[in-house]
Structure 1
């Protein structure tokens, strides 16, 4: 960056800008340290919370239950230093731990840089970044908004990791998300970033608009519920909150709506349909990366924090683009995004296994013979 900013001028050389640009390196390193540490904690949450264990206390080896030393618990690099094995029992430790730490760290680092340097958020004062005096502009609104987004990203990652493992979302996690995200927006309306209305003045600011914050929360939750039911045709086949409120498919639907509510609160109801379409496309790509045992809802759950981070990073250019639904967009743009979302269950459809009593006669007989063969093999 120092070389790029000093080219074409004789007033200063790259060496004159090294100390200035060192500030950028410090900010990026600090953000990655915080983000990867959050990722390390989310590994604990994803393992312990579905098992009703406390998330407090030091991390330990899942093989021999030995507590990890402080230097071994260093995010990402601790696992690399141990070469993926426990220092005590020398048994392998899953590479999932550093992968999650790195993924969360990178996502929070990118979002933090984009917001501290005012590169991503709409309705925000901008400044030129091309010269040697490129510095972050931080005030209370920026810090509160960044903290809110970091919490939302962390909660979205936690939900994705738990659902990827096939566990239903713990009630403690859903309650924490509701308190942090809904309560945070009602207390600090600044974190709305964009309004809940479709038409606002060009100089719109969210400071002090508590009534608008209430409407923003209501519209976001209604949109998440409605669009979640649309996706349920593929991800939660058979869900029926009225006739089967405690059924497995209904629980999957509730988890789906909860995961969708996070980007709905952060980004607003206007762009939610387009965000979910992008998330559905990312879900298809994750099929080649995640374990084959991960079901479609688990893949979609991991796609949600990735989509949320990308949406925040490119929020300003997308907000100004005519094809992306947002406040000020044409109703036809919103309807087009909603129509595209209606087609996503065709490629996100979860494979459904029916019991023998509802299968056709020939399939039921084949199912019974397969069960008999498996019983003989077990005996």
Structure 2
């Protein structure tokens, strides 16, 4: 695997340098090897950070619903052996062990490297898009050909990227726990609220887009603390309202007034929580369209996830995927006439909202599996004992 990745990286450096230098006499391919090697280093570093976060989220998804501490060294629950550092390496540690515990040789669930890889890839793509100024609206752009294809890093960009990485990680954590059929722990919801709401109120520049419908083309969020507060309020109101709209399919029977502690009501609260994350990051204007895309991805995930995974679990795991795609395509979507955003026609927003209202007709819950753990593989007597034979590092 390492040799394959090294060959891919080398091919990128040499082929891209040749492609960017063709047709010009100002520089040779050798002049661009170092800048293209910088691309590889940035991508590798982002994947390492992202997959490490995914490794920690495996711990969160397993321990937090069971009221266990997420601190402490990782160990094999079967033989209680602490994992060695090389075995805890995200993705590649599992591959090196060939999916088995080094000590007791029981199988290790493939869920762990899958989650690590998925989180790592999502954070890597978002990081590259933002560091190279490819994705965010209201951001200065630069030409991405030849030697000028280099990252532009400043404080505002780093803070925005950090905010988005936190949001993506929180969305993945919510999705993994809800996919397993567990109600969201209050600790996780509270942590997400403090970091996402507090982060936006403290650093308004992470808003990226305004909460209003019409602003100047040179709008910037720096120092707009009142606007940040309004952005938070409108995002939470939109998440609550649209969550109630989707409840007709995902949380049938939810009644916060007559049955505030019922299972359906808890599912509704979890649904609003998972919707609030993209609402805070992307803004209330595009939220209806984002949820429609998420509903379509949830349907497609039915071919990948076990049939025992309920529809709310599929929708929950679709949310971080949709959030990443929305950030990656944010600039072209923001400029598109068909996508609801600030500056869009009211009819575009109404059309997206109307489309969302009919999604419960196909995004309808078939079964409720509260409190049941649903691993990626169908469990059997052997796998159910060994599926958690290791947990990723914290």
Partner of 1:125: 140
Partner of 1:251: 266
Partner of 2:115: 100
| Count of matched residue positions in the alignment of Structure 1 and Structure 2 | 353
CA contact (8 A) 1:239 1:253 kept: yes
Shift of 1:29: 0.3
How far apart, CA to CA, are the structure 2 residues paired with 1:314 and 1:26? Answer: 23
Partner of 2:51: 36
How far apart, CA to CA, are the structure 2 residues paired with 1:14 and 1:283? Answer: 44
2:92 is the alignment partner of 1:88:
no
Partner of 2:129: 114
How far apart, CA to CA, are the structure 1 residues paired with 2:320 and 2:170? Answer: 9
Per-residue Cα deviation, 1:250-309 (whole angstroms, up to 9, x for no partner): 000000000000000000000000000000000011001011111000000000000000
Per-residue Cα deviation, 1:312-349 (whole angstroms, up to 9, x for no partner): 00000000000000000000000000000011101111
How far apart, CA to CA, are the structure 1 residues paired with 2:258 and 2:26? Answer: 75
Give the aligned CA root-mean-square deviation in angstroms.
0.9
CA contact (8 A) 1:36 1:104 kept: yes
Partner of 1:323: 338
CA contact (8 A) 2:91 2:117 kept: yes
2:365 is the alignment partner of 1:350:
yes
How far apart, CA to CA, are the structure 1 residues paired with 2:350 and 2:306? Answer: 35
Q: How does 1:340-379 map to 2 (within 5 A)?
A: 340-351=355-366
Partner of 1:273: 288
Q: How does 1:280-299 map to 2 (within 5 A)?
A: 280-299=295-314
Shift of 1:11: 3.6
CA contact (8 A) 2:52 2:116 kept: yes
2:171 is the alignment partner of 1:156:
yes
- Partner residue of 1:2 out of 17, 35, 38: 17
Partner of 2:349: 334
Shift of 1:352: 5.5
2:315 is the alignment partner of 1:300:
yes
How far apart, CA to CA, are the structure 2 residues paired with 1:53 and 1:134? Answer: 46
Partner of 2:376: none
Structure 2: segments with no counterpart, 5+ residues: 1-15, 369-394
TM-score (norm 2): 0.89
Higher relative contact order (CA 8 A, sep 6+): 2
Q: How does 1:18-37 map to 2 (within 5 A)?
A: 18-37=33-52
SS at match of 2:89: coil
How far apart, CA to CA, are the structure 2 residues paired with 1:232 and 1:62? Answer: 37
2:245 is the alignment partner of 1:242:
no
Partner of 2:392: none
How far apart, CA to CA, are the structure 1 residues paired with 2:342 and 2:155? Answer: 25
How far apart, CA to CA, are the structure 2 residues paired with 1:65 and 1:107? Answer: 32
SS at match of 1:127: coil
* Bigger CA radius of gyration: 1
How far apart, CA to CA, are the structure 1 residues paired with 2:27 and 2:149? Answer: 15
CA contact (8 A) 1:228 1:253 kept: yes
How far apart, CA to CA, are the structure 2 residues paired with 1:342 and 1:310? Answer: 22
2:185 is the alignment partner of 1:170:
yes
How far apart, CA to CA, are the structure 2 residues paired with 1:62 and 1:273? Answer: 43
Partner of 2:327: 312
CA contact (8 A) 1:237 1:352 kept: no
- Indicate how the Cα distance of structure 1 residues 172 and 129 shifts in structure 2: closer, same or farther if over 3 A, else same: same
How far apart, CA to CA, are the structure 2 residues paired with 1:194 and 1:142? Answer: 14
How far apart, CA to CA, are the structure 2 residues paired with 1:10 and 1:204? Answer: 40
How far apart, CA to CA, are the structure 2 residues paired with 1:223 and 1:348? Answer: 19
TM-score (norm 1): 0.92
CA contact (8 A) 2:211 2:283 kept: yes
How far apart, CA to CA, are the structure 1 residues paired with 2:367 and 2:37? Answer: 55
Shift of 1:9: 2.1
CA contact (8 A) 1:164 1:297 kept: yes
SS at match of 2:74: coil
